[in-house]
Amino acid sequence: MAREPSLRERALLFLARREHTRDELERKLKSKAEDPALLEALLDELVSTGKLSDARFAEARTNTLSRKFGTSRILHELKSKGVSAEAAQQAVEGARATEVTRARETWKKRFRAPATTREEKAKQMRFLQSRGFSFAAIRAAVDGAADEEIDEAQGVPGDDAG
C-alpha cells in the first residue's frame, strides 16, 4: 500500500513542476495541512532556502505572458497570483521596454493589414487594449508608426540627440 506524501513532499512536487507564489502554494496545500502553523513554518522554510520565490515566479510568468500581452495585463495577472506590487513592477520592467514591438507583432498576427475604416481601426485598438498594451503602444502598432516613432514611444533616444 502506497503511503500518503507528506506536506513537504507535496510542496516540493508542486515546485518541481513550475514556480509558484507563496499564496498559490498555501492554497494548494491548505486542505492537506492538519495544522495551519505547520504549513506556515514549511512555507517560511521554503522561502528562506530559496525554493519558493515570488520574485522568481513573477519573472517566469512575465516571460511567458509577454509573448501575447502588454504590461498592464501582466501586472494584473501577477497581482492576482499574490505577487507584491513592487516585485510585479520589477518583473515587468524588461517587458515595458519592448511593449511597442510586442504590440506590433500581436497586431500583425491577428490582423495582417491596416484598417481601412474607423470602425476597423477601433476594433483593432480594442483588441490590443484587451491584451493590456498601453495607448502609446497601441497607437504605434495600429497606425504603423515609423521606426523613429516606435523608438520614441519606447523611450529610446534617437540619433539626433547630442
Lowest mean pLDDT among 36-45, 46-55, 138-147: 138-147
The model's pTM is: 0.76
Q: How confident is the model at residue 155 (pLDDT cuts 50, 70, 90)?
A: low
Burial of 90 (0-12, 13-18, 19+ CB in 10 A): middle
Task: Supply the pLDDT for residue 69.
Answer: 94
User: Where are the domains positioned within the chain?
Assistant: 7-33+53-95, 99-154
Give the distance, in angstroms, between the CA of residue 132 and the centroid of all CA atoms in the same chain. Answer: 10
